[in-house]
A and B are shown apart, each in its own frame.
Chain A
Amino acid sequence: MAGAVAVLLLLDLLRRLVDGSLGPSTLLTYLWTGLVIGLIYGLAGIGLSLTYSILNFANFAHGEYVTVGAFSGFSTAYLVAGGGIATLGNLFLLRPAAGQVGVSITSAPFAVVVGLLVAVVATVVVALVLDRVVYKPMRSAEGISLLIASIGVAFVVRYLLAIVYGTQRPGVTAGTQRYFVGEALGLGRFIVDAHQLIILVAAAVLVVGVHLLLTRTKLGKSMRAMADNEDLARVTGIPTERVIRSTWVLGGGLAGAAGFLLVLSQGTIAYNIGWRLLLLIFAAVILGGIGSVYGAVLGGIIIGIVQQASAVWLSGVWSDMTLPVTFALLIVILLIRPQGIYGGVETT
């Protein structure tokens, strides 16, 4: 049934390409932007997946870690790039007086790199502090208690950020270099911009890094061991608290990076961007198979591409339906493969 629908949609896609109602460049744009946004879902999803399998609860505050990364990173980037344009306070709060600072990789590459690093570090610190204050005292509690606590944490962090930064949704990036790839290939208008390339490179480096960490290092192997069987890990002498801290460092850092990259790609920032992203991150993780790192990345890419490519069929008044359609697909895939794509295969 689902297979038949998929085949029909593919045939329809081909028909549209042949009869010209869908230009190849438009399809390329959907796929490319879907890939880029999907990588961000995936990066954020790795942390959610790791904390789920190692700490045994679904962390609803994970979206807020993304937001913390976005704000800490962009405040830093503004401070680095905007010296002299506005007061330090206003730069930090992303409120330059007149004439925006607007950070981009081409106008202020150093600020972007420093911002990304600070986004990672600041989110790691926040994740560790939250673990120490909230989750550690509850270590032996049931997953459902931890889940509810994490919803509380999400609210606190979200509205603390709202108090500091306000609830508006300012644009914070400047235009950057655009490469007219489509024209060069004779396919029409298909543009790749420098920020998208940065995201692609950063995501690739981080995913490969996580893979190497989990498969090549003693720490990474002990994280997988603990995700696999916590009791046995304890019996084996693996220091479980240290592994948990490492999990927050890794998961928080990736969430922070995802937040910074998300803002770099969409251009605007707000106190609730992480919260709005959370459902999609969950979708990516569940689709890929909860507990699987590759699954989270693959799930993210699928969710991202479906979200973008569904615009082929959902135009005009139907364009608001992309999100429901994305989740409908999630449901269909889970009906066919309840454990997710990589689920039950392996922990990495």
Chain B
Amino acid sequence: MSTDPDAEGESNVESGAARESPPGDAPEEREAERDAAATTEETRSASAETTRPDTEGLLAVRDLDAGYGDLQVLDEVDLDVADGEYVVIVGPNGAGKSTVMKSVFGLTSFMGGAIEFDGTDIAGMVPEDIIHYGLGYVPQNENVFAGLSVRENLEMGAYILDEFPDDKLAEVFERFPILEERQEQKAGTLSGGQRQMLAMGRALMLDPKLLMLDEPSAGLAPDLVDEMFDRIDGINESGTAILMVEQNAKEALRRCDRGYVLVNGSNRFEDDGDVLLHDEEVRQEFLGG
């Protein structure tokens, strides 16, 4: 990233733009590939025409089987996230939505399939190693170190870096000014919304290519939920791809690029967020009409 002070204000945008078209990968070429992929795609899609991106995207999960101990939860799950894309997983309770993210991050028992992230096979890796590839994860519960100060939490977010990224800290503080105000305060004393911001800030300290969020609106007061979604939009707009599990399915689908409906540990529907949102079957079964 540029260290030119003049470019500071636009650094987010710049890095986002740079990511969407990495060197040696011309946009036209990718468009063509995408179209080719679309025509050959099997139809699990809610609409006739699928929009699944080319498999050269950021995250590609194929036929993933995973679970806890001997208990298999996921059955041949497929999932893709392209560079800079905003993808949401919705579905009924117990469908295995969180398990998908945990499995990608190496927190479950891997039982088969393939997980490729940014060109690296990460299936079976431990989180400690996965995090080095630019994948960030914010768990649903207990996602801050309550006994550490806000600043210390953010420092832990950058643990794997040899040199502390002052520029990233500044970015996080700019994005979440309340964290700068409360940086000396113990994280355990923060409100639910502030904790969620801190948890995201901690993950953003490594400037991940993909940020996985597990129910970021859970436990928030209704008037804070929209604000939280706005912040997530903001993170996505500055170039970070988002993979999110949400109970608040309608709002999540309204805002995302693409969505997956997961039922009983398997893919059921996948399509553009808006398409899913207006699909009669999806509405009836999963969005409460």
Interface on A for B, CB 8 Å cutoff? 218, 221-222, 224-225, 227-229, 231-240, 346-348
Contacts and interface: CB of A to CB of B under 8 A. Distances in A.
Contacts of A218: 155, 159
A240 B128 contact: yes
Interface of B: 105, 107, 126-128, 131-132, 137, 139, 142-148, 152, 155-157, 159-160, 186, 202, 206
Given A235-B137, A236-B202, A237-B127, A229 B146 contact: yes
A222 B161 CA distance: 13
Given A221-B155, A222-B156, A239 B147 contact: no
Interface of A is mostly: helix
Contacts of B157: 236
A235 B156 contact: no
B262 to A, nearest CB: 22
Given A222-B159, A224-B147, 20 more contacts: A221-B156, A224-B148, A225-B145, A228-B146, A228-B148, A229-B142, A231-B142, A232-B139, A234-B126, A234-B127, A236-B156, A236-B157, A236-B202, A237-B127, A237-B128, A237-B160, A237-B206, A238-B159, A346-B147, A348-B147
B163 to A, nearest CB: 11
A236 B152 contact: no
A82 to B, nearest CB: 47
A155 B116 CA distance: 50
A149 to B, nearest CB: 23
A227 B146 CA distance: 10
A235 B147 contact: no
Contact of B152 (A221, A229, A238, A240): A221
Nearest to A345: B147
Nearest to B186: A346
Given A221-B155, A224-B147, A224-B148, A232 B142 contact: yes
Nearest to A53: B147
Given A221-B152, A221-B155, A234 B145 contact: no
Contacts of B142: 229, 231-232
A233 B202 CA distance: 11
Contacts of A238: 128, 156, 159
A224 B145 contact: yes
Contact of A235 (B105, B132, B152, B186): B105
A227 B128 CA distance: 17
Contacts of B155: 218, 221
B154 to A, nearest CB: 11
Contacts of A235: 105, 107, 127, 131, 137, 139
Contacts of B206: 237
Contacts of A232: 139, 142-145
Nearest to A226: B145
12 contacts: A224-B145, A224-B147, A229-B142, A232-B144, A233-B156, A234-B107, A235-B107, A237-B128, A237-B132, A238-B128, A238-B159, A348-B147
